[in-house]
């Protein structure tokens, strides 16, 4: 059976040719020839037919600003289209693998592995597992929403050409539509005129939830249930295994534009969207459930439910009965739609809670099955029930987040109004006053009173005052988590507990409407995690919080800032070690730990294949529940196409189900002590070398001159500022622009620097390559860490990086670039030797993709360095420079 009519080569060839035609038609023959000269020269150099890039430099140096703009637009648009071709190839691979039943990391392979367990343990694995992808608004998505919409249209047309049998006339019409979209894309501004606002970012996240994930959830569960039934020969109860969360519209850390009004609007819009989707589903169901009530017995439970609805909504009961006489299911569905209309409405009769909608669906499903319509229930009711279970009335629950300093300042000022000198207290005294304040019945401060305090304190007090209103209006589950950035002390957690208690969000003992989540980012916080959490677990007030939250503690680990502070290897080891320590302290206090992995899209920010990352976690930390951030362009790559989105969810479920099974069978990993000592030695050496580089006088200046950080800081990528302090200091610069800048310069230093120094230190201390090879073969953590570093090495191009180094002052280049190059060359050799392979990129499809892309990225890099070298740029040249950033990001398929 032939599933597809095209392949990636045809898509790339035809899209490239179409773009060439559009370029010539929209500009000139001369402009087309300029782009062709640059393209062929870049290819010839990569193929070894040219000894240098001098031809490229000469061509670029002779361009007018207008022609530079056309070149940047041409190569940027090319990558946007080629990314679609490669997305289509991913879909082909998924469909082919599914058809041939040989997909790795599938739900079927997960069912096979769980089949080794007895029934009780298998059910425990299923009951324990819950994965929570959490979408953030972090500004790493370089494309405009308008551009993404046009590209999605082209993608849909490519799917039609590839998967449908078309007549020549139909094919011609589709090709014409692609031509029209590409022409429109060419004429559309690629660069935003303004920064997106927080509500723009929230709408962007909402788009993926509403238009992709909502539709595929039922299919994922259907496939999982089929997989278990095929493996076990019987049906098995599959509970909720996945739900979605978001920071977009609620993450206040470093973003003063995320106001309570933004959060309110986000909650309202998400509820409106998800209720609308449910109404649409029920309306579609009404076309299916047209059974004649005179020929079937709907059952006592259904009749009772329908009667209650009639009494609840007397105003429309007569209309419903007249419209659907003797059609009980349609009557019920119409009344359910009306109840959805009244959620959050002043009119009575609406659903008070999502459980009531779930109960109505269960009643219909039971009635259908009793009437021999099991297939109807499976095809139409069960998927909707899964959607309701997953998305509730919230679409995605929101997490609040802010920096601990904001809370400390607020508590200090609020208590000062009551005559309490919190500022002068030491840590022990602060814990004592916070604990006593939470435990006493009377309020200590009035969060609704924002008079006489600083702007910072007023904003925080207003947020907690609104939090009570949000939970009252939208339900506790709509916004029930509060993450605290830069948590360093137990008091930073109790400060949030205190403010929530004063706002009546928490009423101990018995009720706690908030998971309070310390975000551990720095080396000191991670190393002191046992003291932080142990102190909290022994605290009288916090003990009651844990009891009210089912003895579960969520702890967030920041991969990005930890990497920026310590370097790739040291950060990975620090996180690994402290996950184990956190697991131990939670076990000591009989607390279930839920780790929240703050991973970015790039390797250096904790990115990489999620299924590999989940399987590489220490067994002792895998409790079944896990959260992780999804950020920037990674969201579009994973979730814009329904088939790819479904595959991603399947792979994550596969990994977490298997990881939980292994953690139950072997609660402690069997890691050789020799390996742990080796990692400790290497981590110390890596951190020392990395910090020495960053702390060397002149490095910050070199970074500013040899990367486009100055351009990136001013890009309209997101609503959040690039730096916490507004200064160009590495410690204050956010991890995203730090990585983004190095990625643009094709020197992905944050993903591998100091790894070679670390390995050499181990070898010089008496270690051997054979031990490292054994660690790679047998230790998932080490293998995943090294594979991720190898990927960053494979994406690095030091020849292009040298072009950026030439922009720096000669003495700075001489001081830093040889040092960086030497580390790169050494790590390239060591990674290959340890992993026992010939390429740093061991995925064949990725190597082909990079080979296809690199010659087209090169002209954009050289144009960017050419523009950066100019001391004065016109407005057009500034726009072109910003466009090169977009184009390189599209070509690298990564920002930061």
- Rounded CA-CA distance 525/472 in Å is 34
**Gap between the Cα atoms of 863 and 75, Å rounded:** 11
> Where do runs of H (alpha helix) occur along 136-197?
145-163, 168-186
Mutual orientation of helices 490-502 and 427-439 as an angle, nearest 10°? 30
Longest CA–CA separation in the chain, Å: 91
Calpha distance 701→729 (Å, rounded): 10
Structure tokens at 766: 């008496």
Find where tokens 């814009």 sit. Answer: 640
Q: Do residues 455 and 449 touch, judged by C-beta distance below 8 A?
A: no
Please say whether the beta carbons of 783 and 616 come within 8 A. Answer: yes
Token match 């899964």: residue? 386
Task: Tell me the Cα Rg of the chain.
Answer: 29
**Among 696, 698, 791, which residue's Cα sits nearest to residue 750?**
791
The tokens of 384 are what?
């909707």
Question: Which residues, in sequence order, are bridge partners of residue 733?
Answer: 723
Q: In DSSP terms, which residues pair with 482 in a beta bridge?
A: 400, 516
**Other residues' Cβ atoms within 10 Å of the Cβ of residue 417:** 15
Structure tokens at 448: 């609704």
Closest CA to 886 of 704, 716, 705: 716
b or e along 590-625 (b: 16 or more beta carbons within 10 Å of the residue's beta carbon)? ebbbbbbbbbbbbbbbbbbbbbbbbbbbbbbbbbbb
Query: Any idea which residues carry the catalytic annotation?
Result: 138, 564
Could you tell me if 244 and 213 are in contact, meaning their C-beta atoms sit under 8 angstroms apart?
A: yes
Label the pairing between strands 130-135 and 245-246: parallel
Nearest to 808 by CA among 690, 696, 699, 735: 699
């Amino acid at each position: 059976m032939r599933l597809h009519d095209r392949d990636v080569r045809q898509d790339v060839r035809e899209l490239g040719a179409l773009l060439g035609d559009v370029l010539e038609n929209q500009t000139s023959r001369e402009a087309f020839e300029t782009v062709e000269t640059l393209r062929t020269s870049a290819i010839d150099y990569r193929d070894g037919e040219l000894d240098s890039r001098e031809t490229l430099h000469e061509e670029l140096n002779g361009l007018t600003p207008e022609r530079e703009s056309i070149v940047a637009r041409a190569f940027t648009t090319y990558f946007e289209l080629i990314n679609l071709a490669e997305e289509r190839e991913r879909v082909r691979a998924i469909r082919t693998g599914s058809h041939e039943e040989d997909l790795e990391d599938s739900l079927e392979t997960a069912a096979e592995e769980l089949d080794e367990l007895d029934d009780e343990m298998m059910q425990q694995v299923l009951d324990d597992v819950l994965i929570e992808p959490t979408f953030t608004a972090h500004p790493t998505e370089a494309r405009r929403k308008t551009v993404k919409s046009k590209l999605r249209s082209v993608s849909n047309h490519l799917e039609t050409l590839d998967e449908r049998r078309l007549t020549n006339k139909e094919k011609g019409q589709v090709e014409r539509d692609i031509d029209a979209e590409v022409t429109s894309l060419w004429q559309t501004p690629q660069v935003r005129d303004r920064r997106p606002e927080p509500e723009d970012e929230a709408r962007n996240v909402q788009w993926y939830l509403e238009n992709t994930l909502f539709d595929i959830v039922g299919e994922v569960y259907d496939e999982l249930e089929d997989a278990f039934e095929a493996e076990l020969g019987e049906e098995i109860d599959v509970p909720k295994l996945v739900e979605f969360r978001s920071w977009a519209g609620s993450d206040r850390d470093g973003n003063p534009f995320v106001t309570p009004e933004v959060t309110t609007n986000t909650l309202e819009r998400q509820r409106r969207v998800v209720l609308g989707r449910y109404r649409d589903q029920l309306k579609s169901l009404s076309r299916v459930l047209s059974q004649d009530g005179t020929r079937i017995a709907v059952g006592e439970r259904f009749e009772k439910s329908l009667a209650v609805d009639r009494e609840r909504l007397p105003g429309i009961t007569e209309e419903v009965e007249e419209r659907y006489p003797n059609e009980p299911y349609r009557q019920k569905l119409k009344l359910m739609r009306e109840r959805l209309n009244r959620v959050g409405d002043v009119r009575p009769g609406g659903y008070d809670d999502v459980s009531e909608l779930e109960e109505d669906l269960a009643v219909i499903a039971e009635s259908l099955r009793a009437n021999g319509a099991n297939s109807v229930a499976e095809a139409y009711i069960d998927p909707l029930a899964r959607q309701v279970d997953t998305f509730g009335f919230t679409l995605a629950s929101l997490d609040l987040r802010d920096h601990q300093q904001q809370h400390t300042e607020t508590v200090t000022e609020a208590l000062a109004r009551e005559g309490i000198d919190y500022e002068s207290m030491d840590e022990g005294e602060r814990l004592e006053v916070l604990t006593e304040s939470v435990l006493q019945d009377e309020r200590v401060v009035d969060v609704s009173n924002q008079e006489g305090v600083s702007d910072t304190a007023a904003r925080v007090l207003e947020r907690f005052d609104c939090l009570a209103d949000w939970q009252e209006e939208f339900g506790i589950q709509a916004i029930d988590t509060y993450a605290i950035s830069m948590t360093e002390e137990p008091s930073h957690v109790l400060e949030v507990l205190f403010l929530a208690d004063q706002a009546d969000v928490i009423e101990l003992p018995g009720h706690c409407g908030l998971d309070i989540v310390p975000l551990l980012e720095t080396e000191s916080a991670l190393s002191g995690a046992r003291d932080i959490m142990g102190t909290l677990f022994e605290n009288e007030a916090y003990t009651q919080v844990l009891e009210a939250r089912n003895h579960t503690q969520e702890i967030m680990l920041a991969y990005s800032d930890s990497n920026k502070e310590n370097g790739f290897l040291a950060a990975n080891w620090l996180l690994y070690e402290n996950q184990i320590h956190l697991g131990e302290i939670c076990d000591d206090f009989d607390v279930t730990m839920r780790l929240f992995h703050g991973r970015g899209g790039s390797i250096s920010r904790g990115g990489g294949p999620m299924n590999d990352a989940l399987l590489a976690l220490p067994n002792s930390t895998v409790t079944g529940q896990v959260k992780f951030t999804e950020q920037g362009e990674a969201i579009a790559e994973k979730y814009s196409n329904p088939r790819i989105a479904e595959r991603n969810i399947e792979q994550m479920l596969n990994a977490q189900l298997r990881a939980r099974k292994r953690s139950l069978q072997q609660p402690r990993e069997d890691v050789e002590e020799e390996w742990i000592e080796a990692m400790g030695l290497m981590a110390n050496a890596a951190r020392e070398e990395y910090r020495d580089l960053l702390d060397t006088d002149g490095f910050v200046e070199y970074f500013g001159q040899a990367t486009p950080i100055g351009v990136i800081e001013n890009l309209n990528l997101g609503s959040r500022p690039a730096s916490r302090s507004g200064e160009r200091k590495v410690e204050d610069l956010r991890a995203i622009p730090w990585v983004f800048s190095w990625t643009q310069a094709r020197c992905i230093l944050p993903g591998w620097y100091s790894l070679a120094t670390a390995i050499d230190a181990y070898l010089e201390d008496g270690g051997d390559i054979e031990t490292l090879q054994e660690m790679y073969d047998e230790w998932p953590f080490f293998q995943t860490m090294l594979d991720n570093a190898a990927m960053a090495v494979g994406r690095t191009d030091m020849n292009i990086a040298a072009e950026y180094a030439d922009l720096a002052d000669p003495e700075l280049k001489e001081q830093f670039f040889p040092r960086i190059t030497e580390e790169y060359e050494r790590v390239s050799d060591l990674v290959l030797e340890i992993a026992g392979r010939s390429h740093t990129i061991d995925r064949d499809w990725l190597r082909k993709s990079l080979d296809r892309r690199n010659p087209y990225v090169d002209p954009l890099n050289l144009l960017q360095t050419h523009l950066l070298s100019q001391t004065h740029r016109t407005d057009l040249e500034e726009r072109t420079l910003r466009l090169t950033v977009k184009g390189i990001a599209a070509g690298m398929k990564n920002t930061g």
